[in-house]
Amino acid sequence: MTAGDPPPRLAVEAESAEYAAAAAALARQLDLPVPPEASLVLRLGAQGLQLVVPGPGAPGPVRVDFVAGALAHRVRHGGGTGQMIARAVGIQPGIRPTILDATAGLGRDAFVLAELGCRLTLIERCPAIHALLADGLQRARTSAESAAAIERMTLLPPADAIATMHGWDEAAPQVVYLDPMFPHRDKSALVKKEMRLFRPLVGDDDDAPDLLAAALALASHRVVVKRPRKAPALAGPAPGYALEGKSSRFDIYPRRSLQAPATQAGGASNPNSSQATKPGSPGSGA
Ligand SMILES: C[S@@+](CC[C@H](N)C(=O)[O-])C[C@H]1O[C@@H](n2cnc3c(N)ncnc32)[C@H](O)[C@@H]1O
> With bands split at pLDDT 50, 70 and 90, how would you rate the model's confidence at 5?
low
Residue nearest to atom 12 of ligand 1 (CA): 103
Give me the pLDDT at residue 199, please.
Answer: 77
Q: What is the mean pLDDT of residues 185-202?
A: 64
Residue 196 has pLDDT above 80, yes or no: no
The Å distance, Cα 129 to ligand 1 centre, comes to 9
Side-chain-side CA neighbours of 102 within 13 Å: the count stands at 33
Same domain, 193 and 255: yes
- Atom in ligand 1 nearest the alpha carbon of residue 129: 27
Domain-embedded: residue 283: no
Query: Residue 182 burial by CB count (10 A; 0-12/13-18/19+): exposed, middle or buried?
Result: middle
CATH value at residue 256:
3.40.50.150
Q: Which domain holds residue 245?
A: 70-277
Residues facing 78 on adjacent strands = none
Q: Which of 100, 125, 176 to mutate to test the pocket of ligand 1 (most atoms within 8 A of CB)?
A: 125
Q: Which of 6-10, 159-163, 187-191, 261-265 has the least mean pLDDT?
A: 187-191
Percent of the chain with pLDDT over 90: 64
The Å distance, Cα 196 to ligand 1 centre, comes to 14
Same domain, 142 and 261: yes
Which one has a higher pLDDT value, 223 or 195? 223
Residue nearest to atom 17 of ligand 1 (CA): 103
The Å distance, Cα 101 to ligand 1 centre, comes to 9
Same domain, 77 and 48: no
Give me the pLDDT at residue 8, please.
Answer: 73
Residue 183 has pLDDT above 80, yes or no: no
Percent of the chain with pLDDT over 70: 83
Give me the pLDDT at residue 192, please.
Answer: 62
Question: What residues line ligand 1, using a CB cutoff of 6 Å?
Answer: 103, 105-109, 123-126, 129, 160-162, 179-181, 202, 205, 211
Domains in the chain, number = 2
pLDDT digits (tens, 9 = 90+) for 219-260: 999 999 999 999 999 999 999 999 999 889 999 999 999 998
Asked if 119 contacts 155 with a C-beta cutoff of 8 angstroms, the reply is: no
Residue nearest to atom 10 of ligand 1 (CA): 180
The Å distance, Cα 228 to ligand 1 centre, comes to 14
Contacts 24+ apart (CB under 8 A), 201-207: 201/8, 201/10, 201/40, 201/126, 201/128, 201/129, 202/126, 202/129, 203/1, 203/2, 204/1, 204/2, 205/103, 205/180, 205/181, 207/162
Which one has a higher pLDDT value, 3 or 93? 93
pLDDT digits (tens, 9 = 90+) for 135-159: 999 999 999 989 999 999 999 999 9
Same domain, 81 and 46: no
pLDDT digits (tens, 9 = 90+) for 40-89: 899 999 999 999 988 777 778 899 999 987 888 878 877 799 999 999 99
Domain-embedded: residue 3: no
> With bands split at pLDDT 50, 70 and 90, how would you rate the model's confidence at 263?
low
Domain-embedded: residue 126: yes
Which one has a higher pLDDT value, 7 or 52? 52
Same domain, 147 and 192: yes
Side-chain-side CA neighbours of 32 within 13 Å: the count stands at 27
The pLDDT mean for the chain works out to 85
Same domain, 125 and 35: no
In the sheet that holds 40-45, the strands lie side by side as 10-14, 40-45, 48-52
Same domain, 162 and 237: yes
Residue 267 has pLDDT above 80, yes or no: no
- Atom in ligand 1 nearest the alpha carbon of residue 160: 20
Give me the pLDDT at residue 281, please.
Answer: 33
Same domain, 75 and 44: no
- Atom in ligand 1 nearest the alpha carbon of residue 164: 20
Domain-embedded: residue 4: no
Contacts of 49 (CB under 8 A, 6+ apart): 26, 42, 43, 63, 131, 132, 135
Residue nearest to atom 27 of ligand 1 (CA): 105
Domain-embedded: residue 5: no
Domain-embedded: residue 30: yes
Same domain, 45 and 147: no
Which one has a higher pLDDT value, 164 or 246? 164
Same domain, 34 and 137: no
pTM: 0.86
User: HEC profile for the chain?
Assistant: CCCCCCCCCEEEEECCHHHHHHHHHHHHHHCCCCCCCCCEEEEEECCEEEEECCCCCCCCCECCCCCCCHHHHHHHHCCHHHCHHHHHHCCECCECCCEEECCCCCCHHHHHHHHCCCCEEECCCCHHHHHHHHHHHHHHCCCCCCHHHHHCEEECCCCCHHHHHHCCCCCCCCEEEECCCCCCCCCCCCCCHHHHHHHHHHCCCCCHHHHHHHHHHHCCCEEEEEEECCCCCCCCCCCCEEEECCCEEEEEEECCCCCCCCCCCCCCCCCCHHHEECCCCCCCCC
Domain-embedded: residue 243: yes
Same domain, 19 and 160: no
The Å distance, Cα 56 to ligand 1 centre, comes to 28
The Å distance, Cα 104 to ligand 1 centre, comes to 5
- Atom in ligand 1 nearest the alpha carbon of residue 181: 1
Report strand pairing: 120-122 vs 99-101: parallel
Give me the pLDDT at residue 39, please.
Answer: 81
Domain-embedded: residue 153: yes
Same domain, 158 and 28: no
Give me the pLDDT at residue 7, please.
Answer: 67
